[in-house]
Amino acid sequence: MSIPSQQHAPRTVRPRTTTAIEPRRSLSMRAGSRSSNILICLYAGLAAAAVGKAIPLIGSIDADLGTSPSQSSWLISIVMAVGILVAPFAGRVGVRFGDKAMLAAGIVFEVIGSSVGATATSFVLLMLGRIIEGLAFFLIVNSAMTLLMKTNDGARRSGAAALFIACIPLGIGVSAALSAQIVALGWRSVFWSHAVIMAIALAGCVFFPKAVAGQDNAHAANGVLSAYRRMPPIWLGMVIAILSIVQLGSTALLPTYLTQTYALSIGTAAGISSIGQIIGISGNLLASILLSRGVRGSRIGLLSIALSIPAGVLVFVPALGLHANSASYLAVLLLCGCAGSALVTLAPTPMVTESPVALGQTNAVINQLNSLGLLVGPPLMFAVYANTAQFGPSLVAILCMIVPILILNLSGLLNSDASSPNGKATARR
C-alpha cells in the first residue's frame, strides 16, 4: 500500500533581522585636514617652549643656586645637545612603536623633566631635568614632523612642513616673552607652568590623525644607522644646519653688536632683534603658502639665500656708513626674513627619503644636524666677533649663505622633487 506523498507549500524564509553594529567613531582628526595640521604644529610650538622658557631665567637661577652665567647658559644649550645624541635612535623607535605613541611619550617626558627642574635644589638636579626636557623636545618634534609628512602629500605636504618649522621659533619666542613676565613669581613657577600645560596637552593626543595605512615596513629593519648610509639626507641636514648657524647666531649676537657698534640703546637693539625674529617667522609662513601653491622650494630657497648675502654685509660692515636705525632695521629684517624662508623651504624631507616608512629615520638625521647648527651658532658668532670685530660676523654670514648653494648644486638636491608623494629621492646617492 503506497502512502501518497504529501506536498508541502514552500516555506517562506523570513530574513533574519540583525542589529547593525555601527563602527566606533574615532576621535582622530582626518589625515591631512587643516585642523589636524594646525594641531600638530601647535604641539611643535609647545615643545619649543622647553628651549625658550629658560632664556630669561638665567639671572634668577644664578641668584638662587649660586651658579655663574657660564654654567647656567648650558641650561639652554643642553636641550639641543641631547637631540644630537638621541637622534640615531629616534627614527628607529618611531617605526617600532608609532609616531603618535612616541609623541605622547615625549609629552610625558616633558612633564617629568619640567617637574624635576621646578623641584631642583641644586644645579645638578636642574641639569638632569633639562636633559629629560631635551629628550622630550626631540621626541615631540621628530615624531610630530614625521606624522605631518605621512598624513599629507604633494605640495600640501611641503606647505604643512614649512608651517611646522615656523612654529618652532615662534614657540621659543613666545615662551621667552611669557617667561619674562612670570619670573617675577620665581623661576620655578615657569617650570611648573610648563609642566601643567604639557600635562593638559597629553589629552589632546587622541585627536592626532592616523598615518596613511598600507606603507611597506621593509625599511624598518634596516637598523638604527640606515638613514646615515645615504648621502641625500646628510647633504640636506648640512644645508639646514648651516642656515641655522647664521639665523640663530646672528639673532643672538645682534643686541650686543648693535649697542657696541651703532651706540644704540639696549632696548632699541633688543627690539631690532625681536622684530627680526618675527619677520623670520613671517618669511617661513610666506614660504609655506608658496609651497602649498606648487612653487618649487629650491627656487624660493635660492632667492632667499641670494638676498641674504647683501643683507649680511649691510648689517656687519659699519664701514659702509649705514649707522642709522632705519638701515639697521632694514638689513636685519631682510637677513632674518630671507634666512628664515630659505631654511624652511629646504626643510621638507620627502625628496631625500628612500621610502615613506623611512621618513622618521630621515627626519632624525636632519634634525640631528640642525640641532648641531643651533648649538654651534651663538657661541661661534660671539667668538668670531670677539676676535675679528665687525668684519668676522659678516664673513661668516656670507659663507653660511654661499656654502648651502654649493652643496645644493654639487649634491643634485636642486633637481629633486620636494613634493614627491612617494618620498623618493632623485638626488645623487
pTM of the model: 0.70
Indicate the length of the chain as a whole number. 429
Q: Which triple of cell numbers denotes residue 208?
A: 592626532
Of 184 and 104, the structure prediction assigns the larger pLDDT to 104
Residue 6 one-letter amino acid: Q
Confidence of residue 22 (pLDDT cuts 50, 70, 90): very low
* Angstrom distance (rounded) from CA 368 to CA 359: 14
Q: Which one, of 179, 146, 149, 174, lies nearest residue 46 by Cα?
A: 174
The pLDDT value recorded for residue 19 is 44
pLDDT at residue 369 greater than cutoff 90: no
Quick: pLDDT tens for 227-271: 677 788 888 888 888 888 877 777 777 777 777 777 777 667 766
The pLDDT value recorded for residue 422 is 46
Burial of 13 (0-12, 13-18, 19+ CB in 10 A): exposed
Residue 12 carries which DSSP code?
A: P
pLDDT at residue 113 greater than cutoff 90: yes
Query: Which domains are present in the chain?
Result: 29-207 (1.20.1250.20), 225-429 (1.20.1250.20)
pLDDT at residue 16 greater than cutoff 60: no
Confidence of residue 301 (pLDDT cuts 50, 70, 90): confident
Confidence of residue 202 (pLDDT cuts 50, 70, 90): very high
Quick: pLDDT tens for 140-183: 988 888 888 888 877 677 777 777 877 887 788 788 878 878 88
